[in-house]
Amino acid sequence: MVKVAVLGAAGGIGQPLSLLLKLNPQVDELALFDVVNVPGVGADLSHINSDSKTESFLPADREDKTALAKALTGADVVIIPAGVPRKPGMTRDDLFNINASIVRGLAEGIAENCPKAFSLIISNPVNSTVPIVVETLKQKGVYDPKRVFGVTTLDIVRANTFIAQLYPEETKPTDFNVNVIGGHSGETIVPLYSVGKTADYYKKLSEEQQKALIKRVQFGGDEVVQAKNGAGSATLSMAYAGYRLAESILKAVKGESGIVECTFLNLDSGIKGAAEAKKLVNGLDYFSLPVELSKEGIHEVKYDILDKISTDEKALLKVAIEQLEKNVEKGVAFANK
Ligand code: NAI
């Protein structure tokens, strides 16, 4: 039996993400938690004739912890898109003040009710919310580094789409799986177009086109924020991206081997390859890199990609590392204050 819990299930991301999970035959139980509107979302989804059972959980008031406890008890995978999204002119860091406490409260719930679950953190700023979850689980004595994932998959999804759009006659977005490393905001996002299948196409672009492509991946979220004009940030593409990571984890749990996904993870963790990676990123404790998944979660960090990157990508990495350091510190300090 596989139980998946979505925290923030009534939101812009939470609803389509829950729909995708409802359609996955590997999910037996889908628990939907939110502080508003979730009974309606649950009732609606529950009419879909897929085999999983859907239940929704709404706390009676701010003090009520039982709804979260019920949603989380027995969960194997917990996905967190709870919190406020950006409006035009906002950075992801501007969300910190509200989302940090929301994420900490939910991480406490995970520690108390399903400490062995895989936790997938979507709430922004991911560069800081992941350290908050990790520190909270550590404080509760239940932290397993292999089981905490910062969701950066949307950057990979965008990187694949945007390069394919430049070669509409020769390529399709599904031809690619670009490694996007670093963090999940602006210049901390580093797409590695010079490695793998995109290398030849990338080389053919002028320097100006290359720069524009990188910038589009780094700030692609702004295109959606501006187009939505105050009504939020990416939700549908994010739901797809979050689902992709969850699906890969579910496949690995079922025993499929060789599955690699990029995720923002704790490198100070004893995971195979993490210490080597940490040395290559200036001693940073958190970074997004390709990882191989197993039944236990993150099996190995594929740090060797850092040896293959171009000089230009190394320069991008330097900028990313400087910014990430501050974002991570902010999350750690919040969780320990
Ligand atoms: P939204 O406002 O539509 O939905 C958020 C939901 O969270 C709401 O239903 C709200 O009631 C719920 N919520 C608030 N406090 C909660 C709590 N304590 N427990 C449970 N649920 C709670 O926002 P949207 O568009 O779904 O975005 C959610 C988050 O995802 C934002 O922080 C956004 O920045 C982030 N995001 C992350 C991306 C990524 O690539 N990692 C991409 C796009 C958005």
CB 15 less than 6 A from any atom of ligand 1: no
Q: Would you state the pLDDT for residue 89?
A: 83
Same domain assignment for residues 21 and 122: yes
Residue 14, ligand 1, Cβ within 6 A: yes
- How far apart are the C-alpha atoms of 170 and 144, rounded to whole Å? 44
Give the total number of structural domains in the chain.
2
Q: What is the CATH number of the domain that holds 144?
A: 3.40.50.720
Of all protein residues, the one whose alpha carbon is nearest to atom 25 of ligand 1 is: 12
- Domain extent, residue 300, equals 152-337
Q: Can you say whether the dihedral through the CA atoms of 64, 69, 71, 77 is positive or negative?
A: positive
pLDDT of 91 reads 85
- Ligand 1 lined by 262 (C-beta under 6 Å): no
Q: How far is the CA of 82 from the centre of ligand 1 (A)?
A: 4
Same-domain pairing of 131 and 157: no
Domain stop point among 123, 150, 177: 150
In the reported structure, the alpha carbon of residue 14 is separated from the centroid of ligand 1 by a whole-number distance in angstroms of: 7
**184 tagged catalytic:** yes
Query: Ligand 1: does its nearest atom lie under 6 Å from the Cβ of 30?
Result: no
Q: Which two tokens stand for residue 246?
A: 């969850």
State residue 312's pLDDT score: 95
Cβ-contact 79, 4 below 8 angstroms = yes
Contact 121, 115 (CB under 8 A): no
The Cα diameter of the chain in Å comes to 58
Which residues make up each annotated binding site for NAD(+)? 8-14, 34, 99, 122-124, 238
Domain shared by 21 and 168, yes or no: no
Pocket flag, ligand 1, residue 156 (CB < 6 Å): no
Burial of residue 29, with CB atoms counted within 10 A of its CB: 0-12 exposed, 13-18 middle, 19 or more buried: middle
153 lines ligand 1 (CB under 6 A): no
Same domain flag for 7 and 30:
yes
Beta strands in 110-185 (DSSP E): 118-121, 148-150, 180-182
Which of 150, 179, 194 marks a domain boundary? Answer: 150
In three-state secondary structure terms, 11 is coil
Q: How far apart are the first and last CA of the chain?
A: 38
Q: Are 253 and 2 in contact (CB under 8 A)?
A: yes
Q: Cα angle vertex 268, ends 266, 274, to 5°?
A: 80
Whether ipTM exceeds 0.85 = yes
Residue 207, pLDDT score: 96
**Contact yes or no for 240/157 (Cβ under 8 A):** yes
Phi and psi angles of residue 48, each rounded to the nearest 5 degrees, phi first: -70, 130
Active-site option among 104, 146, 147, 184:
184
CB-based contacts of 329, cutoff 8 Å, min separation 6: none
Mark whether 141 and 205 lie in a shared domain: no
Query: Is the CB of 12 within 6 Å of ligand 1?
Result: yes
Nearest CA to 246 among 3, 37, 1?
Answer: 3
Check whether residue 285 and residue 331 sit in a common domain. yes
The one-letter amino acid code at 258 reads: G
pLDDT at 285: 97
Q: Is the same domain home to 237 and 297?
A: yes
pLDDT value at residue 87: 80
* Spans of the chain, pLDDT less than 70: none
How many whole angstroms from 254 Cα to the centroid of ligand 1? Answer: 29
User: What torsion, rounded to 10 degrees, do the Cα atoms 264, 326, 232, 62 define?
Assistant: 90
pLDDT in tens, 62-107: 899 999 999 999 999 999 999 998 888 888 888 998 999 999 999 9
pLDDT of residue 131: 98
Closest CA to 127 of 156, 99, 87: 99
- How many other CB atoms are there within 10 angstroms of residue 224's CB atom? 19
Q: Is 55 exposed, middle or buried (0-12, 13-18, 19+ CB in 10 A)?
A: middle
Best residue for ligand 1 mutational test, from 15, 119, 124 (most atoms within 8 Å of Cβ): 124
Dist. CA 183 → ligand 1 center (Å):
18
For ligand 1, atom 35, the nearest C-alpha belongs to 123
Answer with the one of 134, 150, 166 that is the final residue of a domain. Answer: 150
pLDDT at 121: 98
Query: What is the domain-level CATH number for residue 328?
Result: 3.90.110.10
At residue 314, the pLDDT reads: 95
Ligand 1 centroid from CA 123, angstroms: 6
162 and 83 in one domain?
A: no
Q: Which atom of ligand 1 is nearest to the CA of 9?
A: 9
DSSP-based three-state secondary structure for 90:
coil
CA 116 to chain centre: 18
